[in-house]
Amino acid sequence: MNKTAKGKQWQIGMLLLPGLLVFGVFTAYPLIKLFIMSFFKWDFGSMLEQQFIGVQNYKEVISDPYFRISFVNTLVYTLVTVPAQMALGLLVALCINSITHLKVSFRVLYYLPVITSWVIASLVFKYIFNTEGMLNYILFHVLHLTDHNIRWLDSRWGGLGVAMLLGTWKGIGWNMVVFLAALQTVPTELYEVSGIDGAGAVKKFFHVTIPCIRGTILFALVMLTIGGFNVFTSIKMITGGEPGHQTDTILTWMYYKAFSTGKFGYSAALSFIVAVCLAILAAVQFRLMKNREEG
Amino acid sequence: MKKRLKRKIAKETLLLLFLTAGLYIVVMPMVYMISTSLKPNGALYEFPPRFFPRLQEVTVENYQYIIGEGKFYMNFVNSIVVSVTTVAAAALVAAALGFCIARFNFLGKNLLFVFIMLTMIIPGMTLIVPQYELAVWLKVIGKLTGLIPFYIAWVIPYSTFMIKGFVETVPRELDEAIYIDGGSVFTVFFRIILPLAKPGIASVSIFNFLTAWEEFPWANTVINDNAKRTLPIAISGFFGQHQFTQWGYVFALSVLSLIPILMVFIFCQKFFVAGLTTGSVKG
C-alpha cells in the first residue's frame, strides 16, 4: 500500500513538473526579478554593474509629473470604459434576451469586435479619426457642424477619447455574452409575480433583474477593471503617447521609460506599483463579491 | 388576447429595429476596413472621401500586392507556428496542472493556486522588463522560440483555472474505477480526464489561440527581423513605413489576418460561449 502511495506521489510530481517549470522560469522568476530590480540603479549604462539604491526608484516614480499624467489617464480610461461597456452590453443583452427571432445572428455579429485584434481595430479607428479622415469630412462638409477639420488625435483628451471609444466598442460584445448567460438564470416566476403586483418594465429591471445578476455584475467589474489597467496597444498605435506624453497610460509610459530611455530600474518600480495596486483592488472587489453572495 | 399578441409583435419589431440600428455602429468600422481594402490606392486620398468604392473601381490590387510580396507567407506561417505550438503545449500542461489541483493534495498546492490567481490579476506587461532580460540571457531575442514559451507561461494561469473547474465536474468514481483496476495516475489523466474535459480544454484553447494570434507588445519587443515577424507586427510595420501610410495595403493584410480567427470563431462557437460563461454566473 505504502509503495503504491509513493508511486502515486511520484506520478503526480511528473504531471506537475512541466507546468511548474514553465510557470516558474517565465512568470515566477521574472516577478521576483522585477521586485529586486526595482531597488537597483539599473539602466542601459549599467547593464553589468548595478548599484543598490533602496527606494530611490519608487521616489522617482512617485514624484514624476509624467507618471502622474499617465496614472490619471489610466484611471479616467478605466472609469469611463468600464461602466460604458457594462451598460451598453447589458442593454444589448436585455434586447436580445427579449426577442424571439434572429437571436443567434445578433449575438454573433455583436461579438465580432471582440475577436478583432487590438492592432487592427486601433488602425481602423486611427483611419476614421484622421484629420483628413471620414469623420471630419462628415462633420465639416456634410453636416456643417464644424468649420474646420478637427485634429482629434493631437490633444490629450481627443486622443484618449478615441482610445476610450475603441475600448468601449471592443468590449460591448463580451459583456453582452456574459450578461445574456446571467439573464437566463433569472427565474421567470419572479417577473410574473412582480407583473401581478403591477410593476412596470423599469421597476422589474431594478427590482428583479439587477439583484438576480449581481454576481455577474461584480465578476464583470473585476475583469474589466483589470482590462482597463492593461490598456497598451490601442494607445501605442493610435497616439503613441503624443503629444508630448500627454496621452500615455501607465503601461505605455513604463514601456517608453524601459525601452526608449533604458531606465529599467524605474520601470521595474513602476510595474511593481501597478501590480500591487491591481492585486489590492481585485482582492477588495473579490471580497465584496463574497460578502454579497453570503449576505 | 388579440391585443396582447399585437403588443408582442410591436415590441419584437421595435427591439429588432433597435438592435439593427446598434449593429450598424458596431460593424461599421469593420465594413469600412473591408471597403477601404478594396479601393485602388489612388482613391485613398481622394476628396470627397467615399465610404464604399465606386462599383467600377472595386479592385483586389491591394491583396495581389500583399500576397505577391512573399513576406506575407512568412508572417502567416510564423503566426501559425507560434499560435498552434502555444495552444497545444498550453492545453496539455494546463490540463495536467488543473487535474492535479482538482484531485490531489500536495505540498504547496494552496500557494500554487494563490500564485495562479495573482498572475491572472496583475497585467502581464508589468513583467516585460525582467522577461526581456531573461530572453536576452536565453539568447532567444529575434527568434520564434523567444515568443512561444512566454506565451505558454502567459496563458497557463487562466487555462489551469478553467480546466480545473471542468475536471471538478467529472465524477471521482471514474478515477476510482481505474485505480482499482490497477491503473496509474497517468492512465486516469489520459483515459478519463482528457477525453471528458475536452469541451473545457477546447474553449480554453480557442482563447489561447486568439491571444497568441493577436499578441503585439511582446512580439514587437523581441522580434526585429522581417523574416521572423508575426502578423500583428507585420501589420504595424506596414504602418508608417512610407511617408503616406498605404491604408489599402494595411487593411488588405488586416483582413487576411482576420480570416483564421473568423474561421475558428464560426466553427467553434459552441465552445466559445461555454468558455466565456463558466465562472461568471455563480451566485
Q: And the C-alpha cell for B145?
A: 522560440
Alpha-carbon distance of B198 to B195, in angstroms, equals 5
Alpha-carbon distance of A99 to A275, in angstroms, equals 43
Chain B residues whose CB is inside 8 A of the A294 CB are none
- Quick check: B272 and B203 in contact, CB under 8 A? yes
Confidence class for position A189, pLDDT limits 50, 70, 90: confident
User: For the ranges B10-14, B37-41, B160-164, which has the lowest average pLDDT?
Assistant: B37-41
What's the average model confidence in pLDDT over B53-74?
81
Does A151 score more than 50 pLDDT?
yes
Does A119 contact B96 at a Cβ distance shorter than 8 Å?
Answer: no
Does A106 contact B19 at a Cβ distance shorter than 8 Å?
Answer: yes
Q: What is the pLDDT of residue B240?
A: 60
Does B117 score more than 50 pLDDT?
yes
Does B93 contact A22 at a Cβ distance shorter than 8 Å?
Answer: yes
Which of B72, B78, B82 shows the shortest CA–CA distance to B209?
B82
B118 burial via Cβ count (<10 Å: 0-12, 13-18, 19+):
middle
Does B152 contact A109 at a Cβ distance shorter than 8 Å?
Answer: no
Alpha-carbon distance of A190 to A205, in angstroms, equals 11
Which A positions 142-171 lie with beta carbon below 8 A of chain B? 169
Does A164 score more than 70 pLDDT?
yes
Does A29 score more than 70 pLDDT?
yes
Which of A53, A169, A252, A122 shows the shortest CA–CA distance to B250?
A122
Does A15 contact B189 at a Cβ distance shorter than 8 Å?
Answer: yes
Chain B residues whose CB is inside 8 A of the A251 CB are 123, 125-126
Q: Per residue in B233-281, pLDDT tens?
A: 988 887 665 556 778 888 888 999 999 998 888 887 777 666 665 555 4
Does A192 score more than 60 pLDDT?
yes
Does A233 contact B217 at a Cβ distance shorter than 8 Å?
Answer: yes
Share of chain B residues as helix, strand and coil, in percent rounded to the nearest 5? 80, 0, 20
Which residues are CB-neighbours of B8 under 8 A, at least 6 positions away? none
Q: Per residue in A67-117, pLDDT tens?
A: 999 999 999 999 999 999 999 999 999 999 888 888 888 888 898 898 889
Residue carrying the nine cell digits 439573464: A183
Question: Which parts of B104-196 fold into alpha helices (H)?
Answer: 109-121, 128-137, 148-167, 172-180, 185-187, 194-196
Which residues are CB-neighbours of B241 under 8 A, at least 6 positions away? none
Q: What is the pLDDT of residue B182?
A: 86
Does B218 score more than 80 pLDDT?
yes
Whole-angstrom distance between the N-terminal and C-terminal Cα of chain A?
46
Alpha-carbon distance of B115 to A27, in angstroms, equals 10
Q: And the C-alpha cell for A253?
A: 509610459
CA A168 to chain centre: 10
A-interface mutation test, from B4, B19, B206, most A Cβ less than 10 A away: B19
B-interface mutation test, from A27, A183, A270, most B Cβ less than 10 A away: A27
Does A251 contact B125 at a Cβ distance shorter than 8 Å?
Answer: yes
Which of B24, B106, B121, B30 shows the shortest CA–CA distance to A106?
B24
Indicate the length of chain B as a whole number: 283
Chain B residues whose CB is inside 8 A of the A136 CB are none
CA B32 to chain centre: 23
Report whether the peptide linkage leading into residue A243 is cis, meaning its omega lies within 30 degrees of zero. yes
Which of the two residues, A161 and B267, has the higher pLDDT score? Answer: A161
Q: Does B276 touch chain A (CB under 8 A)?
A: yes
Exposure class string for A79-93: b at 16+ Cβ within 10 A, else e = ebbbebbbebbbbbb
A-interface mutation test, from B129, B163, B192, B251, most A Cβ less than 10 A away: B129
Q: What is the pLDDT of residue A66?
A: 93
Q: How far is B149 from chain A (nearest CA, A)?
A: 7
Q: Does A30 touch chain B (CB under 8 A)?
A: yes
∠ at Cα A275 (A273, A277), nearest 5°? Answer: 65
Chain B residues whose CB is inside 8 A of the A28 CB are 115
- Quick check: A254 and B124 in contact, CB under 8 A? no
| Alpha-carbon separation of residue A170 from A109, B177, B227 (angstroms) | 12, 47, 31
Alpha-carbon distance of B114 to B96, in angstroms, equals 17
Confidence class for position B50, pLDDT limits 50, 70, 90: confident
Which of A231, A229, A227, A225 shows the shortest CA–CA distance to A285?
A225
Alpha-carbon distance of A27 to B152, in angstroms, equals 10
In a 3-state reduction of DSSP, which class is residue A51? strand
User: For the ranges A16-20, A143-147, A164-168, which has the lowest average pLDDT?
Assistant: A143-147
Alpha-carbon distance of A227 to A238, in angstroms, equals 18
Chain A residues whose CB is inside 8 A of the B29 CB are 113, 121, 124-125, 128, 169
- Quick check: A97 and B19 in contact, CB under 8 A? no
DSSP 8-state code for residue A40: E
Report whether the peptide linkage leading into residue A187 is cis, meaning its omega lies within 30 degrees of zero. no
Does B123 contact A278 at a Cβ distance shorter than 8 Å?
Answer: yes
- Quick check: A288 and A232 in contact, CB under 8 A? no
Does A249 score more than 90 pLDDT?
yes
Does B92 score more than 60 pLDDT?
yes
Q: What is the pLDDT of residue A295?
A: 43
Question: Which parts of A184-249 fold into alpha helices (H)?
Answer: 188-196, 201-204, 210-212, 214-229, 233-238
Task: Find the radius of gyration of the CA atoms of chain A.
Answer: 24
B-interface mutation test, from A22, A36, A107, most B Cβ less than 10 A away: A22
- Quick check: B250 and B232 in contact, CB under 8 A? no
Taking the alpha carbons of B237, B126, B159, B265 in that order, is the dihedral positive or negative?
negative
Q: What is the pLDDT of residue B250?
A: 86
Q: What is the pLDDT of residue A92?
A: 94
Which of the two residues, A63 and B69, has the higher pLDDT score? Answer: A63
Does B152 contact A106 at a Cβ distance shorter than 8 Å?
Answer: no
Does B153 contact A278 at a Cβ distance shorter than 8 Å?
Answer: no
- Quick check: A164 and A82 in contact, CB under 8 A? no
Q: Per residue in A205-230, pLDDT tens?
A: 888 888 888 888 888 888 899 899 99
Q: Per residue in A256-281, pLDDT tens?
A: 988 888 888 899 999 999 999 888 88
Q: What is the pLDDT of residue B243?
A: 56
Which of the two residues, A214 and A133, has the higher pLDDT score? Answer: A214
- For residue B243, the tally of other CB atoms under 10 A from its CB is 5
Q: Who among A16, A31, A279 is closest to B127 (CB)?
A: A31
For A32, the closest chain B residue by CA position comes to: B130
- Quick check: A123 and A163 in contact, CB under 8 A? no
∠ at Cα B222 (B218, B228), nearest 5°? Answer: 110
B67 burial via Cβ count (<10 Å: 0-12, 13-18, 19+):
middle
B-interface mutation test, from A119, A138, A184, A210, most B Cβ less than 10 A away: A119
